[in-house]
């Protein structure tokens, strides 16, 4: 009884304190779509920010990840928060064009972000104005299974990776040993876009990828055909029936040593490790060079925070944005989540081999950093493309039909 009373008293006083605190504080509202681990990291970030700015109260509303994609369209007009999570590049374009995201070029200029976030300038800019604060990204590449290499009797590649010919030759050996050389689960389509993007960027370079995603290049052009020709060399070694399984199901195949390579983003490392892999048998390498002399470009999708046009407290929201962009905040947030900071002044935990490898791979990618097919291309075009890639990996003989469909879509969306 005494305990209960004490508890009730504490509760009442806490309520009183919080209401009195609210009265003095200015509120910044922030809508986000975090999974549990990033959510905890963000709550820590907010706590640090509030400690430094005791007069500001940040109120985070967290949405379910999938539901957020729909709800953001409603809340941006109906009840805009000050800040909202979204993605860089073409993904934010509809909101920028509808005037729902605010121009934050001043935040970039006032905080020296043009230097510290230099690698993300392209993906944060639309028509010369900046609309996003990038705070994290993760590398893509090839994760490989050393145990599968041992089982097939092939020497595992070193950090410099292997040549494309060697890679395909290894695939042949893996196939003979009954091991899938490249696994993927494409029921949600996007994993095949990763494979296609890499073959495309290694064959023709970053600018080709970017122009292709922007609808500037014909699917029946010799360059595009060259990409599919290289993809055709890989096709026989990709897990059969990948169209019916999720990427997590394919991760199970990979973990069980039934597959040797997985073209994936770094977020998959957590899943591989949950499946029992360790730093000893899980390896990372960059995708092999295909056309000699093409500058190496990498995929690193960037997550961003945006100031909404309907923000009620833009001044304090910009303070928070500047804090999110800072090296200190990004180092801490990304260390907690296991991703890479976008701020060049931030540091990465050297004990994590995959983060270090990713950091090295991205900082030496002289060709450029791509966002990913479905963020560089417009939504409808992206989907049509991914269906084509998936179909090619299942029915390579239908190439002409696939290219014709894609070209028709391109001409409809981007009339020449």
Binding site for another protein (CB under 8 A): 69-70, 73, 76-77, 94-95, 98-100, 186-189, 240-245, 249, 253, 309-310, 374, 379-380, 382-383, 387-388, 390-391, 394-395, 405, 412
Q: Are 169 and 200 in contact (CB under 8 A)?
A: no
- Dihedral of alpha carbons 223, 225, 228, 229, sign: negative
- The burial of 129, by beta-carbon neighbours within 10 Å (0-12 exposed, 13-18 middle, 19 or more buried), is given as middle
Q: Nearer Cβ to another protein, position 116 or 257?
A: 257
Rounded to a whole number of angstroms, the minimum distance from the CB of residue 345 to another protein is: 34
- Backbone φ and ψ for 134, nearest 5 degrees, come out as -80, 140
Q: Nearer Cβ to another protein, position 296 or 383?
A: 383
Rounded to a whole number of angstroms, the minimum distance from the CB of residue 284 to another protein is: 26
Rounded to a whole number of angstroms, the minimum distance from the CB of residue 73 to another protein is: 6
Provide the 3-class DSSP secondary structure of residue 408.
helix
Question: Which token pair is 126?
Answer: 């639309």
Q: Nearer Cβ to another protein, position 243 or 335?
A: 243
Distance CA 136, CA 342 (A): 5
Question: Which token pair is 224?
Answer: 């595009």
Rounded to a whole number of angstroms, the minimum distance from the CB of residue 14 to another protein is: 38
Q: Nearer Cβ to another protein, position 171 or 192?
A: 192
Rounded to a whole number of angstroms, the minimum distance from the CB of residue 395 to another protein is: 7
Rounded to a whole number of angstroms, the minimum distance from the CB of residue 197 to another protein is: 16
Q: Are 342 and 134 in contact (CB under 8 A)?
A: yes
Rounded to a whole number of angstroms, the minimum distance from the CB of residue 389 to another protein is: 9
Q: Nearer Cβ to another protein, position 326 or 390?
A: 390
Distance CA 357, CA 138 (A): 11
Residue 263, by phi and psi: left (phi above 0), alpha (psi -120 to 50) or beta? beta
Q: Cα(first)–Cα(last) distance of the chain, in Å?
A: 78
Q: Nearer Cβ to another protein, position 194 or 341?
A: 194
Rounded to a whole number of angstroms, the minimum distance from the CB of residue 69 to another protein is: 5
Rounded to a whole number of angstroms, the minimum distance from the CB of residue 362 to another protein is: 26
Question: Which token pair is 250?
Answer: 């394919």
Q: Nearer Cβ to another protein, position 41 or 193?
A: 193
> Which residues are CB-neighbours of 308 under 8 A, at least 6 positions away?
76, 80, 81, 82, 83, 84, 100, 101, 102
Q: Nearer Cβ to another protein, position 152 or 393?
A: 393
Q: Nearer Cβ to another protein, position 30 or 75?
A: 75
For 143-203, the DSSP string reads EEEHHHHHHHT-PPP-TT---HHHHHHHHHHHHHTT-EEEE---TTSHHHHHHHHHHHHHH
Cite the beta strand spans of 218-267 per DSSP E.
Answer: 259-265
Question: Which token pair is 348?
Answer: 């990465």
Q: Nearer Cβ to another protein, position 298 or 378?
A: 378
Distance CA 52, CA 224 (A): 52
DSSP secondary structure code for residue 350 in this structure: T
């Amino acid at each position: 009884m005494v305990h209960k009373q004490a508890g009730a008293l504490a509760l009442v006083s806490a309520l009183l304190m919080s209401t009195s605190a609210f009265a003095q504080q200015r509120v910044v509202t922030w809508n986000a779509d975090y999974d549990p681990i990033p959510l905890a990291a963000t709550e820590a970030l907010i706590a640090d920010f509030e400690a430094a700015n005791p007069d500001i109260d940040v109120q985070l509303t967290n949405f379910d990840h999938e539901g957020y994609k729909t709800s953001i369209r409603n809340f941006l007009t109906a009840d805009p928060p000050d800040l909202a999570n979204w993605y860089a590049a073409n993904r934010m374009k509809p909101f920028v064009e509808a005037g729902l995201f605010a121009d934050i070029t001043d935040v970039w200029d006032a905080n020296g972000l043009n230097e510290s976030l230099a690698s993300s300038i392209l993906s944060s800019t639309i028509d010369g104005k900046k609309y996003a604060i990038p705070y994290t990204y993760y590398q893509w590449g090839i994760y490989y299974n050393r145990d599968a290499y041992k089982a097939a009797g092939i020497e595992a590649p070193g950090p410099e990776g292997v040549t494309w010919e060697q890679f395909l030759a290894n695939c042949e050996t893996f196939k003979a040993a009954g091991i899938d050389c490249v696994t993927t689960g494409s029921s949600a389509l996007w994993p095949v876009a990763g494979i296609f993007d890499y073959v495309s960027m290694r064959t023709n370079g970053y600018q080709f990828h970017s122009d292709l995603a922007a609808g500037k290049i014909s699917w029946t052009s010799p360059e595009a055909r060259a990409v599919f020709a290289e993809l055709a060399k890989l096709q026989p070694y990709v897990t059969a029936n990948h169209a019916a399984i999720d990427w997590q199901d394919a991760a199970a195949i990979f973990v069980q040593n039934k597959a040797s390579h997985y073209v994936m983003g770094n977020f998959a490392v957590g899943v591989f490790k949950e499946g029992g892999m360790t730093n000893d048998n899980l390896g990372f390498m960059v995708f092999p060079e295909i056309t000699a002399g093409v500058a190496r470009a990498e995929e690193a999708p960037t997550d961003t925070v945006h100031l909404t046009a309907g923000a009620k407290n833009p001044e304090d929201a910009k303070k928070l944005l500047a804090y999110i962009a800072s090296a200190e905040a990004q180092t801490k947030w990304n260390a907690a989540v296991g991703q890479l900071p976008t701020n060049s002044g931030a540091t990465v935990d050297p004990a994590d081999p995959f983060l270090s490898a990713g950091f090295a791979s991205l900082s030496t990618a002289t060709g450029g950093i791509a966002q990913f097919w479905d963020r560089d291309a417009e939504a409808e075009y992206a989907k049509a493309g991914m269906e084509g890639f998936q179909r090619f990996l299942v029915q390579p003989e239908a190439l002409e039909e696939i290219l014709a469909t894609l070209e028709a879509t391109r001409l409809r969306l981007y009339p020449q």
